[in-house]
Amino acid sequence: MELEWGKKTRLTEFSVECRRELIEPEHLQISVVRQYELLELARSITTNHARKVQKTLR
C-alpha cells in the first residue's frame, strides 16, 4: 500500500509546501505521520501538522 501511495510523486520535483498538500488525512491505511515520513518532510512539521489535522477531524 505505501509503495502505491508513494508512487504518485517524485519528491525532488516538489517543494515542502507542495508535498504537504499531498497528505491525505482521511487515508484509512497510512497514518498522517507515516505519510509525512514517506514524503520526507521534517519530523517537527509532521508533528505540528498532524496535531492540527487530528483536531480538524474531531
For 6-45, write each residue's pLDDT tens digit: 665 567 678 888 888 888 889 999 998 888 888 888 767 6
pTM (whole model) above 0.85: no
Q: How many residues can be counted in the chain?
A: 58
- Model pLDDT, residue 21: 85
pLDDT-derived band at 48, boundaries 50, 70, 90: low
- Model pLDDT, residue 40: 84
pLDDT at residue 52 is higher than 60? yes
Listed in sequence order, the residues at least 6 apart from 25 whose beta carbon sits closer than 8 Å to its beta carbon are: 32, 53, 56, 57
